[in-house]
Amino acid sequence: LAGSENGDVIRQLEYRISRLEGVLRLNKMITESGGKIFASNGKKADFDATVAQCKEVGGSIATPKNPGENDAILYFVKYFNTYAYLGIKQSLIPGKFQLLNGAQLSYTNWYSNEPSGKGEE
């Protein structure tokens, strides 16, 4: 495409994306933090299905890396009045947790004495 035509296409795409994001925000299906978009349909699913569905749409299960991202996940927990899966798993060392890929956590925000391994964390 010629330079101005290319610019017009980009502006049209940006406008359409903005409108779609607006609709999803109105329907409480997305929120944003630090340039990342967090999305949920509010439906219950098991952990493996959730990981697979995130991957299928080009994303990943949420793993908070700072307080803003933690708040973005908490937004869905409060809105849908349910828990949320995180991209975190227990390591081979009891009481220690890591990212799903085995990397060390760089951010945690656990309640006192949690995670305890005794039910809902």
Q: What pTM does this model have? A: 0.80
pLDDT digits (tens, 9 = 90+) for 80-119: 999 899 999 888 887 788 999 999 999 999 888 887 767 6
Mean pLDDT taken over the chain: 89
Residue-range domain boundaries for the chain? 33-99
Take residue 50 and report the two structure tokens written for it: 């959730």
CATH number of 33-99: 3.10.100.10
Which of 57, 50, 52 has the alpha carbon at shortest distance from 24? 57
Phi/psi for 4 (5° steps) reads -70, -35
Helices (H), the chain: 3-26, 47-56, 67-80
